[in-house]
Amino acid sequence: MPAKQMLIGMTFTNSYGANGGAWRWPGVDPAGLTEVDHMVRYAQMAERGKFQFLFMPDFQSMHANMETESSHLTMEPMLTLAAVARGTERIGMVATGSTTFTEPFNLARQFKMLDVMSHGRAGWNAVPTSDPAIAANYGRALPERRERYERLHETVQIVQALWGSWGQDAWLHDVASGRFADPAKVKPINLHGRHVGSAGPLALPPSEQGQPVIFQAGGGGEGAVVAGRYASGVIGAVFSIKDARHQRMALRAAAERAGRDPDEIKFFAGIISTFGADRRAALDRRIAMSRAALEQRIGYLGQMIGLPLQRSQLNEPLSAVQLAAARPSPHDPRSAYALKVAREGWTLLDVLAHGVVDYHPTIVGPPSEMADHMQEWFEAGAADGFWINPDVYEDGLPLIVDEVVPILQERGLFHRDYEGRTLREHLGARPQYGIDPRLK
Ligand SMILES: Cc1cc2nc3c(=O)[nH]c(=O)nc-3n(C[C@H](O)[C@H](O)[C@H](O)COP(=O)(O)O)c2cc1C
């Protein structure tokens, strides 16, 4: 038996990268926002790196600093992935779909079509929308949390029932007998909950993996119940090995409570990368890419470490007096790391360029540091895999594919090639068609 190996997904957002300043980076097409061909090319690169999947978040509202920063997000996930499906062969594609503002029939139809046309490579990250600005785009108020989660559970079950409503062997396309399909095997579902419902059936035959794989993003008790019942993959936001292990264990316990095997849920920890030959070079790259955005975070850095910090201090390290008074904030899990970096004597701009206010741990250094980080977390049981966020796809992703991945392969931590063709196979997820019969 080969030793257990990690899985890799890549956040797939716009044609620039995870950094809001990536659009103006040398070598990047600044008008790439509307060029899906770039997305296809980056997906092909990720496939060359044998990544198991692309992960597409989705927030359907405007973002705050569009004057200088590109949106981190895609303009529309499903149509983008339809193009990507045509330009790739093996890599999985997970898109986010809101259960709060989309009807189950729409979700079932679009995701299964993506699954069929990609020959079994689609996944659905089922999220309850929590942003009132998105609700406003649908002309609605945001429903309260309890209702959002009730609707999520109803929606996932109806979607899966719709997926299963076209029997696996219903499609005959048998010229000799003249029978196209067996209508007795295509059945209505007639499911109606408190919030959503559908009569069915959905007129889409199974894909090579049967139906899309379910993902869940976000922590919290309600999120864990959702993941425990339905998810094969969970996209996490964790800052330390300790947090990550805790979340992963909570998810595994939730799967067991739902009557599933805990190994059925794969937990993915995020990583952001900014590479340079050494720490200094990587910090300089980060600063050149996003100085203004980093500088704006000085006040927040102060809150994290319990000091009133001013912009005038950006180019200085903390003074001895400040170091003695600094305390990590209990309200932000990133605070202890921020203070640790500040204690190393970096200027405050450099501290910020370490990504201490980013959403995930940030690698600021040579590619080998990323491989070491992944190995450490993986071997500590903190994650089953990672979802990686290159600062710039154009020159950041090739370094992951050509330098980080080979190190991991050399160490026996990552596969050398795809073993199967479908996302379900890539994740080691069990076969499923329709609703999971184990769910009560
Ligand atoms: C890593 C991560 C990724 C997420 N991706 C999305 C997303 O793409 N779209 C979205 O609407 N919500 C996304 N969310 C938000 C969650 O789905 C959820 O709404 C949020 O965590 C609030 O959960 P709560 O209502 O249980 O507090 C994400 C959350 C996390 C932690």
- How far apart (Å, rounded) are the C-alpha atoms in residues 95 and 366? 30
388, 400 contact by CB (below 8 A): yes
Mean pLDDT of the chain: 96
Helix (H, G, I), strand (E, B) or coil at 234: strand
Mutate which of 71, 78, 96, 127 for ligand 1 pocket (most atoms within 8 A of beta carbon)? 127
Residues with CB under 6 A from ligand 1: 57-59, 96, 98, 127-130, 145, 217-218, 220, 222-223, 235, 237
Mean pLDDT, residues 138-159 taken together: 97
Ligand 1 atom 21 nearest Cα: 218
Mean pLDDT of 386-410: 98
Structure tokens belonging to residue 242: 């300790």
Taking only the tens place, the pLDDT of each residue in 230-252 is: 999 999 999 999 999 999 999 99
| Ligand 1 centroid distance, CA of 374 (Å) | 23
pLDDT at 99 over 70: yes
Q: Which two tokens stand for residue 300?
A: 């927040």
The amino acid occupying position 146 is R
Q: For residues 326 and 349, what is the distance between their CA atoms, to the nearest angstrom?
A: 17
What is the CA(189)–ligand 1 centre distance, in A? Answer: 29
Residue range 262-300, pLDDT digits in tens: 999 999 999 999 999 999 999 999 999 999 999 999 999
Cα(370) to centroid of ligand 1, in Å? Answer: 25
Average of per-residue pLDDT across 40-62:
96
Q: What are the pLDDT digits (tens) for 16-33?
A: 999 999 999 999 999 999
Q: In this model, does residue 93 exceed pLDDT 90? A: yes
- Does the pLDDT of residue 1 top 90, yes or no? no
Residue 71 confidence (pLDDT): 78
Whether the per-residue pLDDT at 174 is higher than 50: the answer is yes
Q: What is the pLDDT of residue 53?
A: 98
Q: Per-residue pLDDT averaged across 324-345, rounded?
A: 95
How many CB atoms lie under 10 A from the CB of residue 132?
11
Query: What is the structure's pLDDT at 2?
Result: 58
Atom of ligand 1 nearest to the CA of 235: 1
User: Cα torsion for 131, 296, 289, 349, to the nearest 10°?
Assistant: -130
CB 84 within 8 Å of CB 54: yes
Q: How much is the average pLDDT of 308-334?
A: 95
Strands (E), 191-341: 191-192, 197-198, 213-217, 233-235, 266-275
